[in-house]
Amino acid sequence: MTVKDLTKEEYLDYFKGYILNVPEHFNILEALTESHKEVLMLLESLSESQLSYRYAEGKWDIKELINHIIDSERIFNYRALRIARKDKTPLAGFDENKFVVNSQASHRSKAGLLAEYTAVRQASILLFRNFTDDMLKEISVAGSGNVSCRALGFLISGHELHHIKIIKERYL
């Protein structure tokens, strides 16, 4: 299954931009692996002072942005697991700004953030590797609409690629 196999019923229109960030020929595992490499390559090249930079008052610094990527990936994984297991309980959304404010990410080390990011990604790859095709096609409600298990895998990759574009355009 590749990202081009997704249907409009598998994710909210809000997420379309993230989905479009993923190369259409990638399957979920390729998307997760390749975007991980791209994120690491960029982040490893940045200094501590660059990681603490905010391009405008009230905007997240890069450490907070990376922590947001980590938090979002954990939430998307939890949703994917529940959906794959045919749990039809509607899953609540989350307030990304509250998560960032309460994360204390600005005080974290680069090494610590990168280690956590890599550990979470390794867990994501193992999780999605072990879903069957039928599990990946399961759909349930998360946030304000339907989402499939497989769409969540692609959203993890597309979401972080979105933020990497923002880092390159606004922070560097």
Q: How far apart are CA 79 and CA 87, in angstroms?
A: 10
Residue ranges for the chain with pLDDT beneath 70: none
How many domains, the chain?
1
Q: How far apart are CA 155 and CA 124, in angstroms?
A: 12
Locus of tokens 């008052």: 57
Residue range(s) defining the domain that contains residue 118: 3-171
Residue 12's CATH number: 1.20.120.450
Please provide residue 148's backbone torsions phi and psi, each rounded to the nearest 5 degrees.
-95, 160
Q: What's the predicted TM-score (pTM) here?
A: 0.95
